[in-house]
């Protein structure tokens, strides 16, 4: 009833090309942002449920935001450009470890001349770390010019296993820490040290909001159309003048950059101290599932998928407790396996394009409601 | 961006010439020793029975296949081995026998994708989508809307192309090719699988494109009525060999052509 | 002479370890050949088959059955479990996904992987279970030629023999039987195969069943060597580079690919490891696959793909 675009006329193409051409959607977005940026901190400050305690922020919101960002990164590569990647964890790890090195000072003994960079402030460290990830992303994207689909997936697995190994074996990356575990430097942003959970949450929120907007702009612009064209029919795209080299490698670069940022945030803001295991192949699959379940080729879907994959184990853990059925921790983790797997299959059967497609179908129905068409 | 090198070709001159071109896959000869030319501003039909090498010919023209022998001269320059996107750069656009639209995108995005080569703003600007980048999007959207009006597909611009009926898909594909503002437009069976009405529409679009934009068109078509009505000159291939070349009337009365189509007792 | 003896020993143990990769890769190839589905769940199926086998075997031995009878019954039980799995996968996942594109099917098999991994451990337990089907000691060969001889473990040799029998059997099945022909027809074109009256559901059940039995065979060898445990699924990931090197559709490719990967990573570990740090085995196979891909995108034995438009 209230969800109508009738009477909202566009007088310019710019207005027609907004992210949300329908006014109600725009209002909803602003409300959501207001809740995220103002509402949740207020609730937290006054200790009001459900955001009064740290648990909600630490265990749900912060990982949700960071993994959403990683999912956006993978979605650009797999969902928009059609290049299947099983190496997301590696690119997150490169972002995290490079940011760590830049944050604690880089020293490369070349023998004759030493390369030394003093410890950089936090923001440049994270961005430079992400840049490293982008560079490696381009390198591992080169095979995509010759190989497609599942073959490429195995190529990205090479990145995953190789960098797992590098960060375990090459002590230089962990500053020769004997345990192999690494602690993040202070989260100092222009003199302001981010520490309390709510500050960490806001930091992630800012990063995610900015990168989500930039990513959305890219995918609806010229480069985004090139990615999608390459995904849908690469030969026709090339015959129209789209260079596969540029389209694919730019997708690899942007995607790994975003995943690098997500990796740095995951390590610095969420974990604080971490081991290479934090970015293992399990992480890669987790993010791939978020993208599949949320919806390939949808920025919104990345958020929906991340929310779902993250909340599912928590729900599975809580529900039996609430019902009074005793279940061991191990059984829960196995149940999570089974349910996640079943849901993936179920979702692929009912809607291969994921939650995002269900969402937009729902919106279309709502626009026409109460008429069927 | 159009025709970056070489002098502009005026109407009636040779735009593209094919000299003694041969192509084979392994041992199979797809095209052997074919020569013909396409003149600026004309509609040139390529006809022949199934397997005559027509599509291979188009694939050679826009650089998807590389002939083992022969010379292709486009706008007065002999062409070396090239990538398909170089052909697109030079002003050659095409449609495909089996519709090759970008299935996950809307009709509007498909046609906008045809503007890729004309858009100059780099990724950084696109990311911010302000000022020059936004202005560029809007400018190209204007051009695309003109094409959408021309092809009368306004009401489906937001529809994902995979949901469109075949006839409309063919039309969107033509729109996408037109968005490239090509000098030479290659149409591979633009009317295959269409009913009479759709064929008439499509014929009119082809004539209009040729008329309004002065675009040179090379088309493959099986419907002889359409070919005879539309084209200025016809080249006939059979088993990869050119068997006739001339105006529709000349070709129609050519004995070799009649034999190729009706079969002849050996 | 010592150096050469050592080289031979590493090479032989690598080749025989490679046979194990081949066994898993074979399952992938079978399903891919016959249904165009890239079955990510093959590793999970090895785990399931192994758990079903070892747990039922232990159970019956504890009940006092003679060992040979227990083995036969346990093998049958595990085979039935694999058949039920194949039926369920076909009925509830692949059946409804008929005519979807390859990527969707691939992702659905990742879902299947999770279900099998969770289900198998929930039903049969998630510890490490030792399996004793083959002798696990070793031979010392050529003691005359090399000091100390070359150490060859018997279980690896058994694995090699079993793989050989399996390959011959599968080749006969594909080439000589009616079902085999139908399988190859389905692989070429789903829709065309359906139109000549081949039931896709039946074929997919058969092919998953065969892959399940191959997984069972792999599980007997792997289980004896390493014990049946969850980490088997990770080792099974190594079958992916094997496939890349051998080509997705080639049975001999799977075997040769496995041998190359097995020998390659053992040699690399032995001769390169000291220089760039140990644990190369962890990624060597993948990087090798990457190099092969750059040179030959369709794998060593894959069919060349001709692009048309």
User: Is residue B72 within a helix (H) or strand (E), and if so which, with residue range?
Assistant: strand B69-74
Helix (H, G, I), strand (E, B) or coil at B194: coil
Report the chain A residue with the minimal C-alpha distance to residue C36: A150
Instruction: Answer whether residue B230 is part of any domain.
Output: yes
Residues in chain A closer than 8 A to C237 (CB atoms): 157, 281
B1 and B86 assigned to the same domain: yes
User: Residue C276's closest CA among A354, B208, A170?
Assistant: A170
B129 and B62 assigned to the same domain: no
Instruction: Answer whether residue C215 is part of any domain.
Output: yes
Residues in chain B closer than 8 A to A13 (CB atoms): 137-138, 141-142, 145
Instruction: Select from B55, B63, B64, B85 the residue whose CB has the most chain A CBs within 10 Å, as the one to mutate to test that interface.
Output: B85
Report the chain A residue with the minimal C-alpha distance to residue B185: A240
- DSSP code per residue over A58-72: IIIIHHHHHHHHHHH
Instruction: Answer whether residue B188 is part of any domain.
Output: yes
Question: If you search the block for the tokens 């840049």, which residue do you land on?
Answer: A131
Residues B116-133 have pLDDT tens digits of 888 888 888 888 888 888
> Do the beta carbons of residue A166 and residue A98 sit within 8 Å?
no
CB atoms within 10 A of CB B153: 20
Range of the domain at C243: 2-295
Pairing of strands A182-183, C150-153: unpaired
**Which residues sit opposite B19 in a β-bridge?**
B71
Burial of A179 (0-12, 13-18, 19+ CB in 10 A): exposed
Residue A139 near chain C (CB below 8 Å): no
pLDDT of residue B4: 44
User: Residue A293's closest CA among C119, C114, C111?
Assistant: C111
Angle, helices A244-265/A197-219, rounded to nearest 10 degrees = 170
Cis status, amide bond into B184, omega within 30 of 0? no
Report DSSP state, residue B66. Answer: -
Domain-ending residue, one of A31, A52, A73? A52
Phi, psi of C207 (to 5 degrees): -70, -35
Tally helices (H) and strands (E) across chain A.
16, 6
- Counting the structural domains of chain C, the total is 1
Indicate yes or no: CB of A233 within 8 angstroms of CB of B137: no
Report DSSP state, residue A35. Answer: I
Indicate yes or no: CB of C118 within 8 angstroms of CB of A343: no
Report the chain B residue with the minimal C-alpha distance to residue A246: B123
Closest-CA distance, B92 to chain A, in angstroms, reads 8
Instruction: Answer whether residue A4 is part of any domain.
Output: no
Domain-ending residue, one of B149, B181, B213? B181
Angle, helices B132-151/B166-179, rounded to nearest 10 degrees = 130
Residue A236 near chain C (CB below 8 Å): yes
Instruction: Answer whether residue B116 is part of any domain.
Output: yes
Residues in chain B closer than 8 A to C306 (CB atoms): 25
Please name the member of B85, B129, B176 whose beta carbon is closest to the beta carbon of A221. B129
A57 and A160 assigned to the same domain: yes
Indicate yes or no: CB of C309 within 8 angstroms of CB of B25: no
Range of the domain at A38: 21-52
Residues C157-174 have pLDDT tens digits of 787 888 888 888 887 887
Tally helices (H) and strands (E) across chain B.
10, 10
Instruction: Answer whether residue C300 is part of any domain.
Output: no
Residues C227-251 have pLDDT tens digits of 888 888 876 688 888 888 887 777 7
Range of the domain at B34: 1-91+183-266
| ipTM for the whole predicted complex goes beyond 0.90 | no
Instruction: Answer whether residue C301 is part of any domain.
Output: no
Q: How far is CA A337 from the centre of its chain?
A: 21
Cβ density class A62-87: b for 16+ within 10 Å, e for less: bbbbbbbbbbbbbbbbbbbbbbbbbb
Separation between Cα atoms, residue A244 and residue B89, nearest integer Å = 14
The CATH number of whichever domain residue C61 belongs to comes to: 1.10.3470
> Do the beta carbons of residue B178 and residue B209 sit within 8 Å?
yes
Between the alpha carbon of residue A89 and those of residues A162, A259, C41, the distances in Å are 11, 8, 21
Output the CA angle C277-A267-A54, nearest 5 degrees.
150
CB atoms within 10 A of CB C6: 15
B74 and B118 assigned to the same domain: no
Burial of B138 (0-12, 13-18, 19+ CB in 10 A): middle
B133 and B146 assigned to the same domain: yes
Separation between Cα atoms, residue C236 and residue C266, nearest integer Å = 17
B4 and B83 assigned to the same domain: yes
Query: Tens-of-pLDDT digits for all 373 residues of chain A?
Result: 566 666 677 777 777 777 777 788 888 889 999 888 888 888 888 887 777 777 788 888 999 999 999 999 999 999 999 998 989 999 999 999 999 999 888 877 766 677 788 888 889 999 999 999 999 999 989 888 887 777 788 888 889 999 988 888 888 888 887 777 888 888 888 888 888 888 899 999 999 999 999 999 999 999 999 999 999 888 889 888 898 899 999 999 999 999 999 999 999 999 988 988 889 888 998 999 899 888 888 999 999 999 988 888 888 777 777 777 777 777 888 888 888 889 888 888 888 778 888 888 888 788 777 776 6
Instruction: Answer whether residue A229 is part of any domain.
Output: yes
User: Among the listed ranges B226-230, C45-49, C74-78, which one has the minimum average pLDDT value?
Assistant: B226-230
Between the alpha carbon of residue B130 and those of residues A29, A214, B76, C306, the distances in Å are 20, 11, 41, 43
> Do the beta carbons of residue B153 and residue B168 sit within 8 Å?
yes
- Counting the structural domains of chain B, the total is 2
Which tokens hold the place of B174?
Answer: 């033509």
Instruction: Answer whether residue A2 is part of any domain.
Output: no
User: Residue A234's closest CA among B97, C293, C309, C188?
Assistant: C309
Instruction: Answer whether residue C267 is part of any domain.
Output: yes
Residues in chain C closer than 8 A to A334 (CB atoms): 118, 121-122, 126
Instruction: Answer whether residue C198 is part of any domain.
Output: yes
Question: If you search the block for the tokens 């039996």, which residue do you land on?
Answer: A320
Question: If you search the block for the tokens 């960098």, which residue do you land on?
Answer: A163
Q: How far is CA A123 from the centre of its chain?
A: 18
Instruction: Answer whether residue B96 is part of any domain.
Output: no
Separation between Cα atoms, residue C17 and residue C19, nearest integer Å = 5
Instruction: Answer whether residue B69 is part of any domain.
Output: yes
Domain-ending residue, one of B181, B196, B215? B181
User: Residue B176's closest CA among C190, A250, A279, A233?
Assistant: A233
Indicate yes or no: CB of C287 within 8 angstroms of CB of A348: no
> Do the beta carbons of residue B235 and residue B242 sit within 8 Å?
yes
Average confidence score pLDDT of chain C: 82
Instruction: Answer whether residue A9 is part of any domain.
Output: no
């Amino acid at each position: 009833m209230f969800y109508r675009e009738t009477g909202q006329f566009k007088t310019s193409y710019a207005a027609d090309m907004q992210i949300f051409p329908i006014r109600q959607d725009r209002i909803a977005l602003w409300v959501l942002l207001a809740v995220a940026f103002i509402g949740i901190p207020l609730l937290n400050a006054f200790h009001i449920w459900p955001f009064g305690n740290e648990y909600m922020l630490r265990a749900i919101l912060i990982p949700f935001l960071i993994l959403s960002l990683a999912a956006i990164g993978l979605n650009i590569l797999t969902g928009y450009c059609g290049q299947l990647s099983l190496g997301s964890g590696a690119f997150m790890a490169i972002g995290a470890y490079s940011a760590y090195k830049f944050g604690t000072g880089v020293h490369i003994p070349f023998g004759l001349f030493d390369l030394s960079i003093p410890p950089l402030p936090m923001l440049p460290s994270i961005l430079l770390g992400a840049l490293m990830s982008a560079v490696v992303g381009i390198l591992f994207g080169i095979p995509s010019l010759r190989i497609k689909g599942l073959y490429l997936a195995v190529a990205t697995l090479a990145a995953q296993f190789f960098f797992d190994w590098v960060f375990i074996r090459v002590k230089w990356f962990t500053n020769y820490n004997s345990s192999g575990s690494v602690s993040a430097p202070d989260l100092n942003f222009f003199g302001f040290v981010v520490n309390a959970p709510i500050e960490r949450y806001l930091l992630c929120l800012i990063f995610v909001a900015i990168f989500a907007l930039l990513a959305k702009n890219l995918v609806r612009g010229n480069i985004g159309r090139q990615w999608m064209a390459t995904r849908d029919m690469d030969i026709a795209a090339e015959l129209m003048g789209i260079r596969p080299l540029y389209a694919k490698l730019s997708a690899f670069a942007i995607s790994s950059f975003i995943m690098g940022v997500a990796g740095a945030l995951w390590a610095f803001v969420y974990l604080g101290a971490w081991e290479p295991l934090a970015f293992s192949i399990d992480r890669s699959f987790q993010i791939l599932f978020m993208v599949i379940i949320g919806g390939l080729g949808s920025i919104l879907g990345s958020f929906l998928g991340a929310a779902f994959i993250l909340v599912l184990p928590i729900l599975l853990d809580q529900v039996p407790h609430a019902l009074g059925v005793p279940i061991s921790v191990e059984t829960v983790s196995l149940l999570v396996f089974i349910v996640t797997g079943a849901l993936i299959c179920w979702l692929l059967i009912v809607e291969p394009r994921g939650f995002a497609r269900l969402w937009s179908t729902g919106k279309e129905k709502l626009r026409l409601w109460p008429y069927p068409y | 961006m159009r025709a970056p090198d070489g002098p502009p070709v005026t109407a009636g001159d040779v735009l593209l010439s094919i000299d003694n071109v041969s192509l084979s896959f392994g041992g199979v000869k797809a095209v052997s020793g074919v020569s013909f030319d396409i003149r600026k501003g004309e509609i040139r039909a390529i006809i022949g029975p199934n397997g005559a090498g027509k599509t291979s010919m188009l694939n050679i023209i826009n650089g998807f296949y590389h002939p083992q022998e022969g010379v292709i001269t486009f706008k007065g320059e002999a062409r070396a081995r090239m990538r398909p996107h170089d052909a697109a750069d030079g002003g050659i656009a095409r449609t495909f026998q089996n519709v090759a639209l970008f299935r996950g995108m809307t009709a509007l995005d498909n046609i906008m994708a045809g503007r890729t080569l004309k858009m100059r703003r780099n990724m950084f600007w696109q990311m911010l989508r302000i000022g020059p980048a936004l202005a560029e999007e809007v400018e190209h959207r204007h051009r695309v809307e003109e094409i959408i009006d021309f092809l009368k597909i306004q009401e489906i611009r937001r529809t994902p192309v995979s949901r469109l009926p075949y006839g409309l898909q063919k039309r969107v594909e033509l729109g996408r090719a037109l968005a490239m503002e090509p000098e030479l437009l290659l149409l591979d069976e633009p009317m295959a699988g269409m009913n009479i009405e759709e064929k008439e529409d499509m014929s009119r679009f082809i004539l209009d494109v040729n008329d309004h934009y002065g675009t040179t068109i090379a088309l493959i078509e099986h419907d002889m009525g359409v070919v005879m009505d539309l084209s200025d000159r016809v080249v006939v291939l059979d088993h990869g060999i050119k068997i006739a070349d001339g105006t529709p009337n000349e070709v129609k009365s050519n004995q070799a052509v009649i034999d190729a189509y009706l079969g002849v007792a050996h | 002479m010592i150096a050469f003896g050592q080289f031979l020993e590493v090479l032989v143990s690598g080749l025989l370890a490679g046979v194990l990769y081949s066994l898993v890769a074979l399952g992938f190839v079978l399903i891919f050949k016959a249904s165009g589905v890239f079955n990510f769940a093959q590793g999970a199926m090895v785990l399931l088959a192994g758990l079903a086998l070892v747990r039922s075997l232990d159970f019956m031995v504890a009940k006092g059955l003679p060992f040979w009878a227990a083995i036969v019954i346990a093998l049958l039980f595990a085979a039935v479990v694999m058949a039920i799995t194949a039926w369920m996968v076909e009925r509830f996942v692949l059946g409804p996904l008929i005519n979807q594109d390859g990527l969707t099917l691939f992702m659905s098999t990742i879902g299947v992987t999770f279900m099998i991994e969770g289900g198998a451990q929930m039903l049969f337990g998630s510890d490490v279970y030792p399996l004793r089907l083959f002798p696990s000691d070793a031979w010392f060969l050529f003691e005359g030629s090399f000091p100390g001889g070359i150490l060859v473990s018997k279980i690896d040799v058994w694995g090699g023999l079993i793989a050989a029998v399996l390959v011959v059997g599968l080749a006969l099945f594909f080439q000589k039987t009616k079902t085999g022909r139908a399988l190859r027809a389905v692989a070429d074109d789903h829709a065309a195969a359906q139109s000549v009256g081949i039931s896709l559901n039946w074929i997919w059940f058969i092919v998953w069943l065969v892959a399940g039995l191959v997984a069972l065979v792999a599980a007997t060898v792997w289980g004896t060597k390493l014990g049946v445990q969850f980490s088997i699924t990770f080792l099974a990931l190594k079958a992916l580079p094997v496939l890349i090197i051998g080509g997705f559709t080639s049975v001999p490719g799977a075997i040769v690919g496995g041998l190359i990967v097995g020998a390659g990573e053992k040699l690399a570990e032995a001769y390169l490891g000291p220089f760039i740090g140990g644990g190369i085995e962890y990624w060597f196979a993948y990087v090798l696959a990457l190099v092969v891909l750059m040179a030959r995108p369709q794998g060593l034995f894959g069919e060349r793909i001709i692009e048309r438009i």
